[in-house]
Amino acid sequence: MKSWLTAKLQSIDSPFVRNVGWLGGSGAMIRVSRLLATIILARFLTKYDYGLAALVLTTNEFVRVFTRNGVVVKLIQTDAENLPHLTQSAYWLNWAMFGGLFLIQCLVAFPIAWFYRDSRVILPICVMGLNLLLIPLGLVQAALLQREGRFKVIALTEMLQISTDNVLSALFAIAGLGMWAIVLPKILVAPIWVYIITKNHPWRPNQPFSTNHWGDLIGFGRSVLGVELLNTLRGNLDYLIIGRFLSVDALGVYFFAFNAGLGISLGIITSIRAALLPHLCDARDNLAQFKARYFSSLKTVAAVIFPLVILQASLAPFYVPLVFGEKWIPAIPILILICLSALPRPFADSASQLLLAINKPQLDLAWNLIFTALFTLALLLGVQWQSLGVAWAVLLTHWLCLPLFTLWVSRYVFRQKIQSPPKLGDSGA
């Protein structure tokens, strides 16, 4: 019995499982702090405060999606011989991109205020943009830490940064700062990430400003960026539709339900996605090992996600009024539907990482275009039945479409010869 157990533990031990463990453990601590913050925010903030915060954070997320432009993925995926050149180029490219994004975020605050007929969102949208000016200081180092599998550093950094954010949010809510209780901490904690990431990796820029190899980085990243844009659109489209066609109060209820119902699951899904790409790339030259790693990862995903989501959805009618207060009881049906929509998400994310590992980001982009179109139509139809109809649209589109994508990708990749990553000068897209 002992030898069987030892063999079983050794069989599931792998860099992927350990990295997911670090990220998942960090995520668990983050969720505890977020839960406490959510409880306090739910009791001290109004539905209107939640609605305004949702507009500010959604605008910021649409701008920040351009930071996920494939540069980090390229640095993780590229051959070792290309890495020194690309890191220097990526550093200066990041400064150019992030500086421009800061200006864009400040400019879009004004049409957003006009569209939603509320000028209170202008200042916080502009202030949130300040974070963009800090990210280039540590983004290359963060990519190299992921490439080297040092997810312990990344996990602990995120835990400290986000937990501090949550604690400050709770304190600011008690102090009566309203919407700013959600927005302001995200600005104050940004330097924590920069300091820890740069302290834990020795890489520093050692060449003057240059645009060399920007074409390689942008060429590879355009499909990755396209996918991220579509992911962000889908992740916020329900907010935009409810805020525009229903009311800011209705958006506040939906925003609460989404975060209380899907916050924990999305954190774990993000951890799995971050750990999976370097895990797959490391075995890309050995088809049998590559395939084994991918399907083993799917089993790990199922073992984690299924019990968590089902338990949370089942207990929602009991813990929402008890923990968050009776004013949020109308959000319970929405919370349950959004929570259940998480079940197929990590499998589709894993399939996307598989396509990136074999240099097929354009296929991932094509799929996301199709899925986003279907998702948009479903939301526009669902909003006719208020927020609950939107939640049903989210659930059904994810349950119907994502399993089909996961199955297709698995068959496509393992029925063809794995393509090696392109050399420097070939975008791979």
As a whole number of angstroms, the distance between CA 301 and CA 299 comes to 5
**DSSP letter for each residue of 146-200:** HHTT-HHHHHHHHHHHHHHHHHHHHHHHHTT-TTHHHHHHHHHTHHHHHHHHHHT
| 428 within domain boundaries | no
Domain span including residue 185: 15-413
Mean pLDDT of the chain: 79
Residue 3 lies in a domain: no
282 is a domain residue: yes
Look at residue 243 in the predicted model and tell me its pLDDT: 78
Scanning the structure block, which residue is given the tokens 């207990």? 315
Number of H-type helices and E-type strands within the chain: 17, 0
Number of domains in the chain: 1
pLDDT in tens, 126-143: 988 888 898 899 888 988
C-alpha 236/C-alpha 390 separation (Å) is 12
Task: Give the pLDDT of residue 107.
Answer: 93
Instruction: Collect all residues with Cβ–Cβ distance below 8 Å to 311 and sequence separation of at least 6.
Output: none
As a whole number, mean pLDDT of residues 318-339 equals 83
What is residue 403's predicted lDDT score, i.e. its pLDDT? 93
Q: Is the pLDDT of residue 65 over 80?
A: no
How far apart (Å, rounded) are the C-alpha atoms in residues 57 and 47?
15
User: Does residue 175 surpass a pLDDT of 60?
Assistant: yes
| Cα distance between residue 357 and residue 420, in whole Å | 9
Residue 28: CB partners within 8 Å, gap ≥ 6?
A: none
Residue 428 CA to its chain's centroid (Å): 24
Other residues' Cβ atoms within 10 Å of the Cβ of residue 38: 20
Residue range 328-357: average pLDDT?
87
Structure tokens at 370: 């199709």
Q: What is the value of pTM for the model shown?
A: 0.61
Q: Please give the average per-residue pLDDT across 17-21, as a whole number.
A: 58
Q: Check if the beta carbon of residue 331 is closer than 8 Å to that of residue 260.
A: yes
**Residue 325 forms part of a structural domain:** yes
Rounded CA-CA distance 375/330 in Å is: 24
Q: Per-residue pLDDT averaged across 329-349, rounded?
A: 87
C-alpha distances out from residue 392 to 335, 336, 389, Å = 11, 10, 5
Is residue 9 domain-resident? no
Higher-pLDDT residue of 184, 12: 184
pLDDT digits (tens, 9 = 90+) for 248-290: 778 878 877 777 766 666 666 666 666 777 777 777 777 888 8
Reported as a single tens digit per residue, the pLDDT across 78-128 is 777 788 888 888 899 889 988 998 999 999 999 988 887 888 888 989 988
Query: Is 356 within 8 Å of 222 (Cβ atoms)?
Result: no
- Own/partner pairs, 281-287, CB within 8 angstroms, 24+ separation: 281/76, 281/77, 281/357, 282/15, 284/357, 284/358, 284/418, 284/420, 284/421, 285/418, 285/420, 287/414, 287/417, 287/418
Question: Do the domain assignments include residue 426?
Answer: no
Give the span between the Cα atoms of 405 and 369, in whole angstroms. Answer: 12
Which of 52-56, 166-170, 271-275, 312-316 is predicted least confidently?
271-275
Is residue 407 a part of any domain in this protein?
yes
Whole-angstrom distance, CA of residue 42 vs CA of residue 40: 5
Residue 14 has pLDDT above 80, yes or no: no
Whole-number Å distance between alpha carbons of 133 and 94:
10
Q: Is residue 187 part of a domain?
A: yes
| C-alpha 85 chain-centroid distance | 28
The string over 313-343, giving b where at least 16 C-beta atoms fall within 10 Å of a residue's C-beta and e elsewhere, is beebeeebeeebeeebeebbbbbbbbbbbbb
